[in-house]
């Protein structure tokens, strides 16, 4: 009996300790003052995060912080072709539906990501042999099926993702080989036909500032606009692997301005900032990371055509950078325990300063 009583007491102590830690985390969140979401609303800007299905499904704290701090959600992987369509004309929308419904139930805008991309394709597509007409039918059917399912629920779509290579030419992809470069304009046309009210974006990395790739993207979307292709905006991903090597904020501002002169909206769509390749102590790298987040948010706020600032996740516990790098990396604005980092407070300060 004494052993059983001792075990029960130990169990109660563990549960009480867990409760104290849980409440401590919640109190810490409350102590940050106004949320990013409430501050962003005063600026008329969307602030968002990419969301994977599993932590949203399993972790109450994840859901709480997401709903409290952000007013926009990007589906991280759940809407990519390979995960949605395991067999031809067969779709599993269970994970994407869950994320979209969570966002809508918390009055969050949704970014659809992504309709046409060269990665994360289903095996039946990559291992199959198709004619040009069959490739066209595959892309058209996929866009009509996915965008049609979420019509009026998803307001912004990354229609085509990463079609331009680092050399400024079209990336060699299954779609370029199977259809030709016109697959891009076809995708935008089909998306517009399904949902004329949705904002349609071209999304890419490495074109945030000025340079060969940035110029190539600019000339590409300028040509689309001049030919009447229904493109509404350009997504600047802003993945930064080294906190010491980043796009010049002034050049990012110049790029946003010239895209605006084409009548295009811009959004920072996938920002994260890696630390382990930077110089200095962890505290110094965290300070540099915070400044970079703040500087890029300020660039967005200063640009009349920048409507959203979206991170690729929000907690280090679920960062893609940590999954593919051997060294420790802390690229997001909350740590693994959902504790706000200096970068969180930097974003908060920028939003307050612009009120």
Listed residue (109, 107, 132, 257) closest to 186, CA to CA = 132
Catalytic one among 69, 76, 265, 270? 270
Q: How many Cβ atoms from other residues are within 10 Å of residue 291's Cβ?
A: 16
Give residue-wise pLDDT tens across range 265-320: 999 999 999 987 788 999 999 999 999 999 999 999 999 999 999 999 999 999 98
Closest by CA to 308, choosing from 44, 19, 2, is 44
Residue ranges per domain, the chain?
Answer: 31-353
What does pTM read for this prediction? 0.90
What does the alpha-carbon distance between residue 252 and residue 259 come to, in Å, rounded to a whole number? 11
CATH topology for the 31-353 domain: TIM Barrel (3.20.20)
For residue 292, give Cα distances in angstroms to 167, 191, 285.
26, 35, 10
Q: How far apart are CA 294 and CA 274, in angstroms?
A: 15
Q: What is the pLDDT of residues 206-264, one digit of tens each?
A: 999 999 999 999 999 999 999 999 999 999 999 998 888 899 999 999 999 999 999 99
Percent of the chain with pLDDT over 90: 84
- What secondary structure does DSSP assign to 257-289, as a single string? HHHHHTT-EEEEEEEEE--TTS-S-HHHHHHHH
Please say whether the beta carbons of 230 and 189 come within 8 A. Answer: yes
Q: Is 162 one of the annotated active-site residues of the chain?
A: yes
Residue 11 pLDDT more than 70?
Answer: no
The whole-number pLDDT of residue 33 equals 60
Q: Identify the active-site residue in 76, 162, 208, 265.
A: 162
């Amino acid at each position: 009996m004494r052993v059983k009583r001792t075990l029960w007491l130990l169990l109660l102590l563990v549960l009480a300790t867990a409760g104290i830690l849980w409440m401590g985390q919640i109190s810490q969140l409350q102590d940050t003052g106004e949320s990013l979401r409430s501050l962003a609303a005063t600026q008329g800007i969307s602030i968002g995060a990419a969301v994977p299905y599993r932590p949203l499904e399993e972790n109450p704290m994840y859901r709480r912080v997401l709903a409290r701090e952000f007013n926009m959600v990007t589906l991280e992987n759940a809407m990519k072709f390979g995960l949605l369509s395991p067999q031809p004309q067969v779709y599993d929308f269970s994970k994407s539906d869950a994320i979209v419904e969570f966002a809508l139930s918390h009055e969050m805008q949704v970014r659809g990501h992504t309709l046409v991309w060269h990665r994360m394709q289903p095996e039946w597509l990559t291992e199959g042999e198709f004619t040009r007409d069959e490739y066209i039918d595959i892309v058209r059917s996929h866009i009509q099926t996915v965008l049609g399912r979420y019509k009026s629920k998803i307001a912004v779509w990354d229609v085509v993702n990463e079609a331009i290579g680092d050399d400024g030419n079209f990336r060699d992809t299954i779609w370029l080989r199977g259809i030709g470069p016109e697959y891009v304009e076809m995708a935008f046309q089909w998306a517009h036909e399904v949902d004329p009210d949705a904002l349609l974006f071209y999304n890419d990395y490495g074109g945030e500032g000025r340079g060969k790739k940035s110029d190539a993207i600019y000339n590409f979307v300028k040509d689309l606009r001049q030919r009447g292709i229904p493109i509404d905006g350009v997504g600047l991903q802003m993945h930064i692997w080294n906190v010491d090597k980043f796009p010049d904020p002034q050049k990012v501002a110049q790029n946003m301005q010239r895209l605006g002169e084409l009548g295009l909206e811009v959004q920072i769509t996938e920002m994260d900032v890696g630390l382990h390749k930077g110089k200095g102590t962890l505290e110094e790298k965290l300070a540099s990371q915070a400044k970079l987040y703040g500087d890029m948010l300020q660039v967005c706020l200063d640009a009349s055509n920048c409507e959203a600032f979206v991170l690729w996740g929000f907690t280090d516990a679920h960062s893609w950078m940590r999954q593919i790098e051997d060294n420790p990396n802390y690229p997001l604005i909350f740590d693994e325990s959902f504790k706000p980092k200096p970068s969180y407070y930097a974003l908060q300060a920028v939003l307050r300063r612009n009120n």
